[in-house]
């Protein structure tokens, strides 16, 4: 019974079906399943599978968004359950993310935030058109491990560099890693402006940020 | 002009479209992050200059400076109360710069939001937003409505529905941006796009922006196979972005673009131009190649 429900929950994430994720989680909790185990042994592997399918070209943005929604639906129940048992989902790190100043592109950045959250990171999404000082302030306040900078225009991508410089001026650069992304960005661009990494898409972003925090 | 545009598409010769607008305006001093639409009202001469340099390079079709001209996008730039004015004026600016030598296409870009159930914006709201922009462009007397850089078929449908509601008699073209794995980033295959757009009976369809010139070629091939009767459009980026010094440039030379342009026409494209990274030099090379 529980075994089937676990499969249902995992499959609900893979299929991007929030309603099914909710009902499976409800049933599992009612039958006494351990919430932490559900997160670590069922939801996380399911999200990893979603990421692999994206990487292989079977999944696209809608699939990632809906998988993220299913994950959120399950977590809406599991969050309180974890708290009630005084369990804590171990987080690989804290990420501050946003689209740089002058740039209002939102979809890619939000998707990266969703995928990082699903992977267990504590994510502070500052939104779009974010001034460099706000990235610095939030990174300081949250003791962030990583700052993620999105830019979709060849002109606004320079503001990724401005944030890196502002982090350096604030004396944070040595302990905060920076990852950049967006259509005109590239590994060469990341290197040029002194970022620690470039990520081409939301799935790669999760892998890259995992790598950055494990160094 | 709408009739002449339709017959020109049907009977040829192919129409050369313009190239990039935004980067051009930035070179003229548009601050990074300020949308080009802001200059339609503030500095219409600068926008007209870009149009004129493309017409002089040989473009027979120019796009109004209204890619982000829906209320959804203008709102984010604090220009929500100027949707009508900006789109109408952009059409007039383009018409004057075209001086009867080029068709004026009312440019309509994506909303920059995901439609429900992926995002909060409903399909009906999207239709309304597109209709609002299309009505203003039509009031500014564009020759056709030109929906571009679409990734989602739902959004493309909403744009078509909105455009038709506002301007049922104007020709209407739709192009999508094909990216990773030859699909749009929403996963739409060229075949699916061609089928849906053929059913919607758009005037012409095709690929713009996109990952590479090669991918545009593949997308066009697949659209052609799926909808052999369709009139096609190719308006790709000038290759791939590359960092050189302090600048990001696109790596395709005018000669390369011209070579591809010939290939696009051989594949059935009746409108060929450039997107990100393309300049009047690229458009001139395309015009030259298509004349030969």
Residue B243 near residue A186 (C-beta atoms within 8 A): yes
Kindly state whether B212 is in contact with chain A, defined as any CB-CB distance less than 8 angstroms: no
pTM for the whole thing?
A: 0.92
Note whether A100 and A175 are same-domain residues: yes
Q: What is the pLDDT of residues A88-125, one digit of tens each?
A: 888 999 999 999 998 989 999 999 999 999 999 999 99
CB < 8 Å to A63, chain B: 187
When computed from its CA atoms, the radius of gyration of chain A, rounded to whole angstroms, is 18
Kindly state whether B77 is in contact with chain A, defined as any CB-CB distance less than 8 angstroms: yes
Task: Decide if A155 and B77 are in contact by the 8 Å CB cutoff.
Answer: no
Note whether A60 and A150 are same-domain residues: no
A101, A152, A184, best to mutate vs chain B, most B CBs in 10 Å? A184
Mean pLDDT score, B180-206: 97
Question: How many domains does chain B fold into?
Answer: 1
Final residue of a structural domain among A84, A102, A125: A84
> Is position A70 within any domain?
yes
Note whether A98 and A203 are same-domain residues: yes
Note whether A111 and A139 are same-domain residues: yes
d(CA B60, CA B55): 7
pLDDT number for residue B2? 65
Closest CA to A206 of A99, A106, A110, A115: A115
**Position B75 confidence tier, pLDDT thresholds 50, 70, 90:** very high
Residue B242 near residue B272 (C-beta atoms within 8 A): no
Q: Please state the ipTM of this predicted complex.
A: 0.88
Task: Decide if B32 and A158 are in contact by the 8 Å CB cutoff.
Answer: yes
> Is position A200 within any domain?
yes
Note whether A195 and A100 are same-domain residues: yes
pLDDT number for residue A154? 81
How far away is chain B from the Cα of A88, in angstroms, using its nearest Cα? Answer: 29
Mean pLDDT score, A15-41: 97
Mean model confidence pLDDT for chain B: 95
Task: Decide if B117 and A66 are in contact by the 8 Å CB cutoff.
Answer: yes
> Is position A89 within any domain?
no
CB < 8 Å to A159, chain B: 32-33
Q: What is the pLDDT of residues A134-176, one digit of tens each?
A: 999 999 999 999 999 999 888 889 999 999 999 999 999 999 9
Final residue of a structural domain among A84, A115, A138: A84
A62, A68, A192, best to mutate vs chain B, most B CBs in 10 Å? A62
Closest CA to B95 of B61, B135, B132: B61
Note whether A78 and A136 are same-domain residues: no
Question: How many domains does chain A fold into?
Answer: 2
Note whether A80 and A98 are same-domain residues: no
Task: Decide if B76 and A129 are in contact by the 8 Å CB cutoff.
Answer: yes
pLDDT number for residue A1? 61
Domain with A124, as residue range(s), is 94-214
Q: Integer distance in angstroms from the first to the last C-alpha of chain B? A: 26
Domain with B104, as residue range(s), is 2-291
- A17: domain CATH number is 1.10.1240.10
> Is position A165 within any domain?
yes
- B38: domain CATH number is 3.20.20.330
């Amino acid at each position: 019974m529980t075994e089937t429900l676990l499969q249902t929950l995992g499959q609900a994430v893979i299929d991007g079906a929030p309603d099914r994720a909710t009902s499976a989680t409800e049933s599992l909790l009612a039958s006494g399943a351990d919430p932490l185990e559900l997160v670590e042994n069922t939801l996380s592997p399911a999200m990893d599978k979603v990421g692999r399918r994206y990487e292989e070209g079977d999944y696209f943005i809608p699939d990632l968004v809906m998988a993220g929604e299913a994950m959120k639906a399950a977590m809406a129940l599991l969050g309180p359950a974890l708290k009630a048992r005084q369990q804590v989902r171990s987080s690989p790190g804290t990420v501050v993310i946003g689209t740089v100043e002058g740039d209002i592109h939102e979809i890619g950045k939000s998707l990266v935030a969703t995928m990082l959250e699903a992977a267990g990171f504590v994510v502070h999404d500052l939104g779009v058109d974010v001034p460099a000082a706000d990235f610095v302030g939030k990174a300081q306040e949250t003791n962030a491990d990583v700052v993620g900078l999105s830019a979709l225009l060849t002109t606004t991508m320079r503001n990724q560099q401005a944030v890196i410089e502002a982090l350096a001026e604030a004396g944070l650069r040595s302990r905060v890693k920076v990852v950049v992304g967006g259509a005109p960005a590239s590994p060469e661009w990341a290197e040029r402006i002194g970022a620690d990494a470039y990520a081409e898409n939301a799935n790669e972003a999760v892998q890259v940020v995992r790598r950055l925090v494990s160094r | 002009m709408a009739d002449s545009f339709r017959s020109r598409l049907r009977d040829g010769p192919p129409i050369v479209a313009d190239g990039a607008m935004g980067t051009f305006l930035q070179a003229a001093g548009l601050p990074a992050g300020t949308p080009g639409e802001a200059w339609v009202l503030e500095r219409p001469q600068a926008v007209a200059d870009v149009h004129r340099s493309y017409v002089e390079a040989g473009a027979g079709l120019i796009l109004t400076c209204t890619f982000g001209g829906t209320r959804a996008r203008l709102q984010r730039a604090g220009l929500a109360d100027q949707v009508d004015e900006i789109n109408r004026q952009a059409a007039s600016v383009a018409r004057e710069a075209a001086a009867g030598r080029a068709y004026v296409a009312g440019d309509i870009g994506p909303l920059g939001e995901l439609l429900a159930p992926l995002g909060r914006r409903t399909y009906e709201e999207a239709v309304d937003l597109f209709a609002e922009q299309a009505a203003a462009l039509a009031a500014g007397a564009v020759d056709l409505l030109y929906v571009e850089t679409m990734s989602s078929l739902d959004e493309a449908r909403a744009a078509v529905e909105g455009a038709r509601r506002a301007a049922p008699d104007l020709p209407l073209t739709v192009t999508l941006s094909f990216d990773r794995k030859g699909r749009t980033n929403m996963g739409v295959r060229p075949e699916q796009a061609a089928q849906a757009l053929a059913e919607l009976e758009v005037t012409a369809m095709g690929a713009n922006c996109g990952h590479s010139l090669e991918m545009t070629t593949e997308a066009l091939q697949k659209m052609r196979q799926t909808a052999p009767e369709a009139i096609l459009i190719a308006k790709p980026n000038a290759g791939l972005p590359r960092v050189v010094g302090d600048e990001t440039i696109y790596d395709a030379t005018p000669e390369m673009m011209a070579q591809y342009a010939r290939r696009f026409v051989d594949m059935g494209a009746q409108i060929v131009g450039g997107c990100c990274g393309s300049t009047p030099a690229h458009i001139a090379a395309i015009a030259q190649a298509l004349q030969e």
